[in-house]
Amino acid sequence: MWLPLVGLVVGVVLGLLVGVEIPLGFVKYTAIAVLAALDTVLGGLRAQLEGRFDLVVFTSGFVVNTCFAALLTAIGDLLGVDVYLGAVIVFSMRIFNNVSFIRRDLLRGLAREPEPVRPAGDS
């Protein structure tokens, strides 16, 4: 499990080293995209802990969720509707959800309790 963590660290370091100028107008979109990416990664972690991780689902979820979040925000801007607020709320809720499930999974793992069956369906 250390290799993906190395990837994360390399990504952060790369982001720190490589200068990037996101145009001010796109900052909102990238923010939503980052939120979606964060949600997907946490969802993947949770799925991993629950033993039902699927690489294809995870990868497609990462790409599609990230792009779609940014796209939806852009569309909302075109329509004059603050759609990004909805995206922020949904992704935030999901992130909290995922974190809480991860926490429980970890606690359960520590207590060596049997895993209850939970409906699958995570991206």
Partner 1 sequence: MRFRPSRLQLALTAILLVAGLLVTWQVRVETSIRAKLRIPSQRLEELAFVLQEQARYRERLEAEIAALREQVERYEEAATRDQGAQRELRRRLEVLRLAAGVEAVRGPGVVVELRYSPRPLEPGDDPNLVLVHYTDLQAVVATLWAAGAEAVAVNGERVVSTTGLSCVGTTILCNARRLAPPYVVVAIGDPDALQAALEAEGGPLAALRAFQFPVRVVKVQEVRVPAYRGGFEFRYARAEK
22 binds partner 1 (CB under 8 A): yes
Task: Please report the DSSP string for 43-99 in residue order.
Answer: HHHHHHHTT---HHHHHHHHHHHHHHHHHHHHHHHHHT--HHHHHHHHHHHHHHHHH
Residue count of the chain: 123
The contact pattern for partner 1, residues 39-68, with x = CB under 8 A and - = no contact, is -xx--x----------x--xx--x---x--
Residues of the shown chain interacting with partner 1 in the complex, contacts defined by CB under 8 A = 1, 3-12, 14-16, 20-22, 24-25, 27-28, 30-31, 33-34, 37-38, 40-41, 44, 55, 58-59, 62, 66
